[in-house]
Amino acid sequence: MSPEVRSRIVTDRDARLDAIRREIDAFDAELLDLLNRRGRAVLEVASVKSREAEPRYYRPEREAALLRRLASMNEGPLPDAEVMRLFREIVSTCRTLEQRLVVGCTTVGEACAAAGHFGGAVEIHAAPDTPEAAAAVAASRYDYAVIEFSPAGAASPDIADLPRWGLALCGEWYARDGRRYVVIGHEPVPPTGDDWTSLVVSTRRAATIESWCGASGLRLRSTPIAGRASSSIVEVSMHADESRLMRLVAECGGVVLGAYPNAGADGRPV
């Protein structure tokens, strides 16, 4: 190839790259404008909510629905998981225009799970242990806390004790290594159409729920509670608002720990 031909190819390539980069710059400017327009809309929402007696700025059911909708709309080339990660951060950042959430954690893993679940725009506070984190949420010093569900292969007994704090499970998150974390807070989470309900039941009655789920075509997760051989945390793929589930819980003498959107193995709703 002659030097002249090689020079012309390089020049054409550089011109094409410059054109693409200018296009990307224009997209970035458009994205920035759209993000600020979204932020202004969020401020309007905050203004309306501020007139309520107890405004709720974090709505896990709405965020789950948003991420699921975006995944269903996504045509690539960005993978669904990356789209939802990006939008989780957008939502988290915009939420700070209404309220910056304070989340309690006791370990580095829990802090990472909190950032994954809520997005990075939260204030993470270190708690000495899970009961202290729960007490801080109950006293409204923290908005939420994130705790590891089964650090030793069995469910943490602190999760089973949430009702005595007046608290409930309201979310879940899976780390890349497969460890599962749960979010605890005050407010019940409305149905999203794909939810889990967590219950404390006697190990003897867990089989009744398992049989009912099998006959109803529902998924079930059952985990023994550490140090309490007679009790398990049973999770059913149905929201606690369903009357037929509540009738079964009453029959089995179970206690509802909370209902929350289903999350997949990478922490994102599926």
Mean pLDDT for the chain overall: 90
Between CA 48 and CA 42 the distance in angstroms is: 10
90-99 pLDDT, tens digit per residue, is 999 999 999 9
- Enter the DSSP assignment of 155: B
pTM of the model: 0.87
Q: Is the dihedral of CA 253, 257, 262, 264 positive or negative?
A: negative
Residue 15 has φ and ψ, to the nearest 5°, of -65, -40
Residue 166, Ramachandran bin (φ over 0: left; ψ between -120 and 50: alpha; else beta): left
Which neighbouring-strand residues pair with 259? 197
pLDDT at 199: 94
Residue, of 166 and 12, whose pLDDT is higher: 166
**Residue 210 predicted with pLDDT over 50:** yes
Choose the weakest-confidence range: 181-190, 215-224, 258-267.
Answer: 258-267
pLDDT at 206: 87
* Amino acid letter, 263: A
Residue, of 199 and 12, whose pLDDT is higher: 199
pLDDT at 197: 96
pLDDT at 268: 45
**Edge-to-edge strands, sheet with 180-185:** 123-126, 102-105, 144-148, 180-185, 168-174
Between CA 59 and CA 111 the distance in angstroms is: 20
pLDDT at 3: 65
